[in-house]
Amino acid sequence: MLTKILALRFMQLYRSSGDVGIFRALFVLLLILPLLILFLIQRIGIHPWPMVVPSVAGLIIWVIHSRRKDYKFLKSLIKHTRVLFFTEYLIFTSPLIILMLSKGLVYQTLAFSLLLALIAIAAPTATTLTSHTIKLRMIPVGMFEWQSGIRKNLGAFVVFYFAGLFGFFHPLFSAVAALLITALFISFYSEYEPRNMICATRYTSREFLLLKLATHAGYFALILMPLLFIALIHPGYRLITLGYFLAAINLMVFSILLKYYHYRPGAYSGAHQLLVTLAAMVCVLLPMALLIFVLNLFLAFGALANLKRFLDDRN
């Protein structure tokens, strides 16, 4: 039974990758993951990383464990659920464990394994989030894309943001976290709201678009600001840090403009997901972010022309 459940878990991971999208999955597998592995190989044996990396991995496992909602179901199928959890966590962290052992970090590996065992013993305390949680009250009601997107991806957002705080040790943590958070947030705009929602604002197309851009880009800048300040601690990376910060804001503007450039009431755009993912990949090469800026100028005129049909011609 244990083997079957573990096999089922890998099947679930494979199926969930379809929801992520092939281009976003390739972006993580071909760019983010190799950079992370290279960083770990180079730094895992240097103080303070032998303590920092397992601690971050343990925190991620704890977040996953505390939010899992299959505890009662698995308990009805298998007697030793804690053994199942511990085995799962050992398998999924096995690359890190092997890397630590290869660097001679035996005691750190034993401590990390003990931490996984303690996490597996604790009963999960998953609860269903609603739009009335304290975390979501900070988001204005009109930002429905964020209300829905963060509610669906709160766990990932917390993990990414917490990892970014380790930019105190190396700016790469803040850079990768900001990149993943940007990729997460720009994906919130693939669903088009019904026409009555944009008409209820009583704004002209110009007013509506300017307010949308200012509000969403402004809040997004505030979210990234702590990661920016942490990265700016390192003098040698200040210029490139500011460049990537502006590129992230530029990507948010691109995602919003692209949405209203193709706006169709109540529809969903798979093309939007594809294009914003490609734009994020392009912006990894910082000079190419200027291309997205130029595209934004073109999209702005197209989005205004498209919105005029719904906002300026209501009468």
Domains of the chain: which residue ranges? 2-121, 134-144+170-311
| CA proximity to 255, closest of 172, 187, 201, 315 | 187
Q: Does the reported pTM lie above 0.75?
A: no
Q: What percent of the chain has pLDDT over 70?
A: 82
Q: How many CB atoms lie within 10 A of CB 97?
A: 19
Tokens encoding 126: 């998953």
Regions of the chain where pLDDT drops below 70:
1-33, 67, 123-137, 269-270, 313-315
pLDDT of residue 250: 92
pLDDT of residue 216: 93
Indicate left, alpha or beta for 149 from its phi (over 0: left) and psi (-120 to 50: alpha).
Answer: alpha
Cα separations (Å) of 22 from 25, 138, 180, 233, 270?
A: 5, 32, 16, 36, 11
Q: Are 112 and 50 in contact (CB under 8 A)?
A: no
